[in-house]
Structure 1
Amino acid sequence: MQAEPRLARWLQRVEARLEAALPASDQSPQGLHRAMRHAVLGGGKRLRPLLVYAAGAATGADESLLDAPAAAVELVHAFSLVHDDLPAMDDDDLRRGRPTVHVAFDEATAILAGDALQALAFTVLAEETRAHDGLRVGWLACLAQATGAAGMCGGQALDMDGTGNALALAELERLHALKTGALIRAAVRLGALAGHADAATLAALDDYASALGLAFQIRDDLLDIEASSEQLGKTAGKDAAQAKSTYPALLGVDGARQALRVQADGMVDALGRLAGDTSALLALGRLAVERQH
């Protein structure tokens, strides 16, 4: 990430916006507010908000317009992690090197914290008065579609249905295109909408984001078998323990690495169709492919 100096500045911007959006921990109901802050402010790669800024930079967006969608997409991501970790879903007790929300607080508080974070995401977008009404509606529609049954929640349902079953490769790709990919595609589109991108630019960015989403998941699957819990900040080996279909399980480790290279090439090809500054998008693509946690 050091190769792209803007990323550090964008991280500071989104952290400040998240801090401003979240309720104070001493406000009632304190337990709920502390749980929300625990879920959001506990670190993380912040890939999705960085993609908002990078797509905005590639399309000439006013950077001040990007803080709200960057924060909103990260709030939705945090909500998804809180619910994904619940005993009824992936049942995990470690996230970003800390106890998951239902462990640090309790299961009911975790459910409510996730719900509240999702609502807060849309509030942040709706109240961004620097954006004109058409842009705000576009943002809201984009994030809503990526979050719901046609996106992330639908992918999570497919993941739960597929646990313990051997999925075909096409089924696995569809699952992750929804569960992981939908929010990544939304992050890129949120930034591009702020830059008034035309249809051809949006299509190229969608292709980039689709390749990035699959690359991110393939790398995640590889790390689950190659890295330790300390390196990952979450429980390693969970996929095998829960009998989940993964890219290494279907393709072998070497086949999964080859599939990762194919998606990396796809990102580069898609960005080659753009006329704007794609250096930050390229850097984030490399991060997804080469990350160690």
Structure 2
Amino acid sequence: MADLSPAFLPALEGIATAVEARLEAVLPPVEGPEHRLLAAMRYAVLGGGKRLRPFLTVATADMFGVPRAQSLQAAAAVELLHTYSLVHDDLPAMDDDALRRGQPTVHVKFDEAVAILVGDALLTMAFELLADARLHPDARVRVQMVQALAQAAGPQGMVAGQAIDLAVSHDEADLAAITRLQQMKTGAVIGFCCAAGALLGAATEEQRLALKAYAHDLGLAFQITDDVLDVTGNATQLGKSPGKDMAAGKATFVALLGLEQARQQAAMLGDQASQHLEIFGERAKLLRDLAAFAVVREF
């Protein structure tokens, strides 16, 4: 696994800060009867997080010279959708988590009804941002972005992955089944992040295919590392309760492969992801760094 370049962590922090500003702008505090809902939405979205999906969106778009105003709009949409998924995943009917991003989950801080509405509202807002003319002057591009996110997030992607995750235990799944599950639950939205940058930047078919292959391996490397950290991490590092997946008998890569083999698999996938970027040369340095970071991170 290649070493991270000195520019990576400052770039990660800089894009996170810019995305936070965009999210703050689309989620202003409000007064009136809807105040509690908006307060809960802001609590969920602005309460920290790695912002890796927005980073991937912006870094990919940067390779094609996309104006930051456009890529940050797409990145904010991705983060709204991602946060919706976390809020709903944490509900008692799903994973029943009390801690997220180092603070009480939304249903604990507020209540379950508010948490459901927060997720509904954030998901809806994600598509509102993609339909906004500020994303791209060409309405056809905006439609393509809406369609791509819908496919990544819906019953062909993230939602289906979550449904399978709830239904399948580790003793019922083999490596192919877990890989498919995680490609849907985690990988589909990561794939959208790369596709969004390519769509906004009018990438060639060859470039889109290379990014699709990169996103595929990156998503798996990221999820395997998540599974490893669920076993080896602590609540302070992770910002959430560790060990729950294993205790619940969930289908994870660590449960199937063991800890060391899972680590080796993640490293192999991270290296493989970087190799898909050869056609971009030095323009893809931050994406290569992200592939390395996905494996060596501790949160």
Task: Compute the TM-score of the two structures, normalised by the length of structure 2.
Answer: 0.94
Aligned length: 293
Match of 1:110 in 2: 115
Distance 1:27 1:51, change over 3 A: farther
Please say if residues 68 and 128 of structure 1, whose CA atoms lie closer than 8 Å, have aligned partners that are also in contact.
no
SS in 2 for 1:160: helix
Residues 1:208 and 2:178 aligned together: no
Q: Which residue of 2 aligns with 1:160?
A: 166
Q: Where does structure 2 lack aligned partners over 5 or more consecutive residues?
A: none
- The amino acid that maps onto 2:62 is A
Contact 2:19 2:75 in 1 (8 A): yes
Alignment partners' CA distance in 2, 1:25 and 1:240: 41
In the alignment, what sits opposite 2:89?
A: 84
Cα distance, 1:276 vs. partner?
6.4
Query: How far apart, CA to CA, are the structure 1 residues paired with 2:293 and 2:269?
Result: 13
Distance in 2 of aligned mates of 1:68 and 1:143: 13
Post-superposition offset of 1:23: 4.0
The residue number in structure 2 matching 1:196 is 202
- What amino acid sits opposite 1:81 in the alignment? L
- Answer yes or no: is 1:143 the counterpart of 2:149: yes
Match of 1:61 in 2: 66
Farther off after superposition, 223-232 or 82-91: 223-232
Deviates more, 1:269-278 or 1:50-59: 269-278
> 2:49 corresponds to which residue?
44
Distance 1:266 1:54, change over 3 A: same
Cα shift at 1:273: 2.9
**Cα separation, 2, equivalents of 1:287 and 1:42:** 22
Conservation of the 8 A alpha-carbon contact between 1:39 and 1:101: yes
CA distance in structure 2 between the partners assigned to 1:190 and 1:28 by the alignment: 36
Q: What is the Cα deviation at residue 10 of structure 1?
A: 1.7
**Cα pair 2:70 2:134 within 8 Å, conserved:** no
Q: Report if aligned partners of 1:214, 1:263 keep a CA contact under 8 Å in 2.
A: yes
CA RMSD of superposed structures (Å): 1.5
AA partner of residue 11 (structure 1): A
| TM value normalised by structure 1 | 0.96
CA deviations on 1:58-115 (whole Å, 9 max, x unpaired) are 2232222111100000000000000000101101000011000000000010000000
Q: Greater CA deviation, 103-112 or 130-139?
A: 130-139
For 1:223 and 1:165, how far apart are their aligned partners in 2? 20
Aligned partner of 2:249 in structure 1 is 243
Give me the whole-angstrom Cα distance separating, in 1, the residues matched to 2:259 and 2:142: 43
